[in-house]
Amino acid sequence: MSAWRRGHASRSITDAVCDGIWRDAMTAFAVRTFLTLFVVLDPVGLGPIFLGLSANRSREERRAIARRSVFVASGVLLVFALAGSWTLHSLHVSIEAFRVAGGLLLFKIAFDMVFAQLERETREEAAEARARQDISVFPLAVPLIAGPGALASIMILAGEGREYPNGTLLVLGLCLLVLALVYSCLRLASRIADALGQTGINVVTRVLGILLAALAVQYVADGLKGLLAAGS
């Protein structure tokens, strides 16, 4: 009986250690997911752009535009999070290759953020946006909120989330949280711009750019490691 108890206690300790390690891994993944999405979506940086696009709109129109744009961007990100793996499989593209491609794309965005050269839309797109009555779908939802970097990030994170229990739901929940922050920043864009000033916004953007560069390098490193392991 004592031997059985010792064996049961040993298994209990092992299970507790494994559970602790698993929870730590989940926590680290959750923090990385939130930071990645926050940096890529850049709620603070979207504020001044939103003000420029909606300068001649009333307060009620701005609220409606912000609400519609975040709703549309949420749908686009949701589709890419859930159908991204199927799309890659259909194109015979491995998740490791997509990590490398996404990391390179994110590094380009981070480079532009650090050196204040970030352009989320082309000049032609900006000119068309100024002439449009409704800017909530284009260019605000796509490509300003749900841009290439955000789409690549949500696909990669959703793929990694499948390795954890309810990991996909965790990614989607954190994505909705960051989108809620985006909506809040759009609603409070004028106050944030007045409080931080252009210099403050540039400082925040550059700091986020440095963090995004580090995340991008990690994506590329993980992708190359997987590709090398698959080829060996």
For residue 195, give its domain range.
2-231
Residue 84 token pair = 């991204």
Residue 26 token pair = 């989940």
Amino acid 17: pLDDT = 52
Amino acid 73: pLDDT = 96
Amino acid 21: pLDDT = 67
Q: Averaged in consecutive runs of 10 residues, what is the pLDDT profile of the chain (232 residues)? A: 51 56 84 93 85 77 91 95 85 83 82 69 55 75 85 91 90 96 90 77 80 84 86 67
Best CA proximity match to 40, nearest among 175, 169, 158, 140: 175
Amino acid 131: pLDDT = 53
Segment holding 57, helix H or strand E: none
Asked if residues 88 and 15 have their Cβ atoms less than 8 Å apart, the reply is no
pTM: 0.77
Residue in this structure with the two tokens 């839309």, named with its chain if needed: 121
- Based on its alpha-carbon atoms, the radius of gyration of the chain, rounded to whole angstroms, reads 21
Domain count, the chain: 1
Amino acid 226: pLDDT = 85
Asked if residues 70 and 182 have their Cβ atoms less than 8 Å apart, the reply is yes
Amino acid 110: pLDDT = 81
Amino acid 35: pLDDT = 92
Amino acid 29: pLDDT = 93
Angle, vertex CA 148, rays to CA 49 and CA 34, nearest 5: 80
Best CA proximity match to 222, nearest among 157, 167, 164: 157
Best CA proximity match to 171, nearest among 158, 190, 181: 158
